[in-house]
Structure 1
């Protein structure tokens, strides 16, 4: 599969069409729906940053306070919510902070 070179840090999503573009551009995308005030989101941030540089997935971050409509589109009711896209389709969705090894193996299932 040909794809654009993966970024080694999370992509900050500006709007709904930006997320669509990122999902279309990369084979596997892990999207972190987060909020600045969320403690578990802050704990997850270094994990998400490491996954961006260590795995064969693009990692994107969506601020749910700034992009409430986008969060609603994906049924985000709690943060952090992690949504995994594979080949342009939503494959998995998990609420709450997950350990790095669990997220890494989830990504590897699709790469």
Structure 2
């Protein structure tokens, strides 16, 4: 089993336990689940620097980070999908302008734009370069949320 497979397994086991706890509580969400659900923004979070990104990743179980540039055509095509994912999923969605935050983009491994980095439980678990379909991203997020 690879590290990624182990991480997926651990996340799935945690989610199973949360569901079991919910069933035992008569379908009620645990207090921590209520806080997590309501704290996930319905709009992408504009990242202002390394510390801000670290806070976002620490505050949310699953974070999809979009490294983009305003001049990038594929980034512009992906923007409505990114906004929809923020509104429709339990994952937090963050955006990093690679021109404004070049060092942070480097640290995220963004050698081209768009680059998407998925964090689960504070760790990067997936990295994709290029425009992705909404379906592809939804399927990926479902594995971790």
TM-score by length of 2: 0.75
The yes-or-no answer on 1:69 pairing with 2:78 is no
Q: Normalized per residue, which structure has more helix? A: 2
**Which residue of 83, 86, 93 maps to 2:127?**
93
Question: Hey, what's the Cα distance between the residues in 2 that align with 1:49 and 1:75?
Answer: 22
- Mapping of residues 1-111 of structure 1, within 5 Å: 2=32, 3=36, 5-111=39-145
Q: Which runs of 4+ in 1 moved over 3 A?
A: none
Cα deviation, 1:74-102, whole Å, max 9, x if unaligned, reads 11100000000000000100000000010
Please, which runs of 5 or more residues in structure 2 have no aligned partner? 1-17, 19-31
Higher relative contact order (CA 8 A, sep 6+): 1
Q: Bigger CA drift: 85-94 or 2-11? A: 2-11
User: What secondary structure, in the 3-state scheme, does the structure 2 residue paired with 1:62 have?
Assistant: strand
Q: Normalized per residue, which structure has more strand? A: 1
Q: Bigger CA drift: 1-10 or 101-110? A: 1-10
TM-score by length of 1: 0.97
Cα deviation, 1:52-82, whole Å, max 9, x if unaligned, reads 0001100000000000000111111000000
For the pair shown, the structure with the greater C-alpha radius of gyration is: 2
Question: Hey, what's the Cα distance between the residues in 1 that align with 2:108 and 2:47?
Answer: 14
- Please provide the CA RMSD for this pair: 1.0
Please, which runs of 5 or more residues in structure 1 have no aligned partner? none
